[in-house]
Structure 1
């Protein structure tokens, strides 16, 4: 037979080494899942970090835009105010030249005109007309004209000594009209019609009104703005800390930026101008030079204020990042754990599959599995060896290729299988369904929904068994023939032997009666021995004949109503002399009212006689035999023969009713007998549907009990008919019921 394992190509060889091990670990799904989770965490946190950095940059850019907008707003307000003040002073110069009282001191019309113009300009705190001698000629305040000379004031000396006729702006001063307030003097040279110097026109600008539009920008809480002259003198600060303003020259970074550019934005530490240069807050700074006027504007915004919302957003994004990191980590761990459990389950399934495959391959019987269409799924090694074909070549092939008719008929039957070489041989084929477990809604015994139906076939080579069966049948036939020949031989021989034995017994009786003449004692003794030996041999022949009929099932019962006490009495008469000669006493406990039985008279008496004969035979002199009979509550008839004889060994009880068997011991081998009496008695009782049982104690005695069923007990002969005639004889099986 070819080796089925060699029919399939072997799997490719695998190389082992550190590199392969590392590659397998790096390529494992668990490693990929873990790496993907970590990469996702890094990407998410990188995006959040990038967004945070981008938000910081945008926040700083927004802060820079805010400082520039603030500076531009103050620039716009300053330009508008300066332009309006310049135009106002030009108009005032023209009006003074036009009015006759323009140069007269403390002129009511001029004072009213100044007040009217002051009230129409919200930023103005006061208008002052200073004569060429430095004394005030008129002003818009309700207070009296100052009597002191103003010739030392910068707002007077500047326009007076200046060559040009433009607007002169001086440093902030304390107002003499409004005590406790500071004003910014805007002054212009007053030139008469003749071109001579007539004085100075001064507009006192209220810086609080100048910075009023800035209050809505939350300067006090977020940043600051300052208005300074071109020489660095600070005119206005918001918010104001109630101290004398410093100079921009004390802020090197701003001063250098103004020296290079008219507009710049930078980041620097704001100094405490005028008190502690170099100490302050890290801020965003925007500086602008006002075109056409000697103004410089500086707007600042603390970096902390610019980044306040960014920090709040950063905290929120950081919390989101932490939450997402934890969530992704937990999800990754969960997925990895689930995959690990799945790998463990798959490993367990693989081990179980290998174990099951090993079990199948270790089975001596061939096992084949096939689907509902009859296509082969698996073969075990025994099947490969049985059919001489490899599993891989049979997968997908119809199962009929191995066993024709495998899917027809019953699931457990004998079929003819075909080997690979075409040789046919008998097999036993048993098919069962492979149940993989039922799902919800699946009927009991049915395969789960969406699951292919799989059948498992167990194949057993029946060649040797068929040969053994044939041999057994032949042996049985021969045994039956031999038994039939034996029975026929025994029956024929019994009949042939009974005829001369009857003649011998008859002639012995004739000689014993001295019909042909007197005999001496020796002759009479010989005749008696001839008669007894013939009678004994006839009993043996009758027993063998009865046993032969019982074995062949041809013994027929001639049933009739029999009085139990009569049958017992007749049997006792047959054994009484023998018992008396052996010195054994017999107690008859069977009375006339014991029972009437529907039995075969000869068979029933034969049973009682055999039991009494055995009791007399195996009871020593001085012993006692007791015979009793009774009808039990359920109607059964029970007859017991008990003796005080030698008893039966326990190891012989099981073979007590076998024919030609006697207990093998020295105590009873001296007794004659064939060993057929109890066997014949047992068969007779069985034919009547009863039982024969034995209780015995060696050295104490034996009790034999005959039990007949209740349907054998009758009221009298008329209850079930008279004695049987030859026409009534019919075979009765070993079950023994009438």
Structure 2
């Protein structure tokens, strides 16, 4: 008994020691798990800080490249306008309202998907021409901040506006603007380039991380220009509570990453914890904000932390089980097996991640090689010559097309100066580029110059020189195109027109005059059989004369040599003269021309001869395409915008639908067969359109059946005239100074086109 009582005290401290040891192990596991979770959190935040900063840098570089193009395009358009047309505001408005300049703006806008529209405004903010529509819509942008900034500040430079809704499409846009200065330094207008926030939103959407990321493009005064997710209520608003304002304004930094829970403007002032990477563009007043919420950048950490907690709890339970009287060795081994299995699964996950990373690396290497092969194939198979030179003028490479053009094998010229491509006394490719202001300002140059082949022969070439930088050094890419054949075709065209003018026109005039004398009875009576043949010959000579005159007019228009003498004349007298001049032709077609409703005291500023030429074309067409016994009506009426509209209305079958889009093209005819019933050259409407644009007017047509309903206008004799058939119209500005103070009635809204 005494021995047993002595054993009890000996066993009591051991159990307490075991309990203390178990408690120590549990505490160590808790502390270790908490430390691991905290360290993992720090690592995960650091990893995401690097990733978000990388994303913001990439986005900033992308925006900077797009801004480079936009600024360059805007400067090049302004330079072209001021070099060619900067005489006065009125002269500028007339020169830039042409279809050719609209096409030029449209081609510039199409070079970048971020550019929505390019427009030119006059001194009052009215749109002169735009890349979106032609003719330009009539509305004013004088209330826009970019117009006011350029108008009121002569040294403003390129101005970046706030986001506004477009007056044409209703979409959000922000604009770059450039002031236009006249010959005397006065303000004559503004060139604007509209950027599409929707383009940036669609691009940012791909990086949005399933809705957990927010990407914003802001002006340096913290005004939203573009954003994903798109929020119309914040576009054009200044955000003075967000992370961008905190970093740039309060901390006075250009870029960086921070974690903040400031109230968000887009969330109605709600505080949301997020990580934001901000980049201020060096060259432009823009800021990129790439933000991710806590649910995204801590998602992996939370998963791993949950696993650590599970493992720690499992360890604690294992220790408790190990020191429990009821837990045996098998259970402990099973617990060890569970831990081993979890570790194996984690190892398998790590192995799978490594295999995935290796696969991605291999795919990227293959894609890089494919890209290199494609670029090499383009270089080797390009139809134009391509020459690459360094910043000293030495040739680094040239493609087979360049070898074929110049005749120098690549082995002879690579590593040498390209001066042997230039005629004696002219600079090499690098010198040619550096001597041009356009290249020095934009890094690009398009020009035509005479070049020299290996055999010493000279040829005209079109050169496109562009600079780029590689490893910090400037390089040049020169694209060469031999335009000898083009020059030859231009000479052939000029020679052909000259032949028509000098070799055909003079004898044809004599033939036409002789036939006219014979038909008029100067040679006495002509037998009936011969008279029919003579009439046919005389009619054909007149058609040929019209063809030659039309060809010469087209040549003058294309060369810009068609002269105009403008006079302020009564519209009523002009229309009566036009009807009188063409009534004989109408009678030959068994039709009648009548003058319907008109503005008796209206005055217009026109070239009389050219105006009558347009009216003769419209009236002859109307008579030719009207049925026998029909009446061709001529009407005049006021239009919105201080315009006068003159309409020529026939009663024909209308214009075929498949021909309408080619109606004003040269040599276009609805019936182009050799046996067509109606004569003509297909040049009349093209010439008429060119004449009307020179007289600051417009020409067009509409079909009565295309309108919502027929329209009745007052007739010339107090009767109503029903508008049917095809309506060809010309619009001319009303000359108010010559109206003697007459206030013309405001027309009812015209439902017709």
What's the TM-score bracket when you normalise by the shorter of the two chains? Answer: 0.3 to 0.5
* Larger RCO, structure (CA 8 Å, separation 6 or more): 1
The structure whose Rg is larger is: 1
